[in-house]
Amino acid sequence: MQQQQPGGSVRVSGRVTYSRLLEFVDEGSVKRVDFYDLGRTAVATVMVAGREQQLVCDLPGATTGLIDKLVSKNIAIEA
């Protein structure tokens, strides 16, 4: 479950590079990805060391490949 701060914003645990986000997806660690800023930013809910964390990632250009990968892994997506 996502923890939200007053005002409805998601509490972010840290930042992650796009390549590391893809590694988390391939490992099966990502539970959900929320897209913000017209698809330029993602907040991923990731299991890291047995703890659920929200990690923010700046996305490069078009993200259709990422979305296809998330869908193929049955990861929840919110835009």
> Using one digit for the tens of pLDDT, what is the confidence trace for 34-61?
999 988 999 999 998 899 999 999 998 7
pLDDT tens digits for range 12-39: 789 999 999 999 999 999 999 999 998 8
Q: How confident is the model at residue 9 (pLDDT cuts 50, 70, 90)?
A: low
The residue ranges of every structural domain in the chain are: 12-77
- Scanning 1-79, the segments in alpha helix (DSSP H) are 18-27, 64-72
Cβ atoms 27, 47 nearer than 8 A: no
Q: By C-alpha distance, which of 21, 58, 17 is closest to 37?
A: 58
Residue 61 is given by DSSP the state: S
**Which H or E run contains 65?**
helix 64-72
Question: What class, spelled out in words, does domain 12-77 have in CATH?
Answer: alpha beta
- Rounded mean pLDDT, 2-14: 57
Q: What pLDDT is stored for residue 6 in this prediction?
A: 41
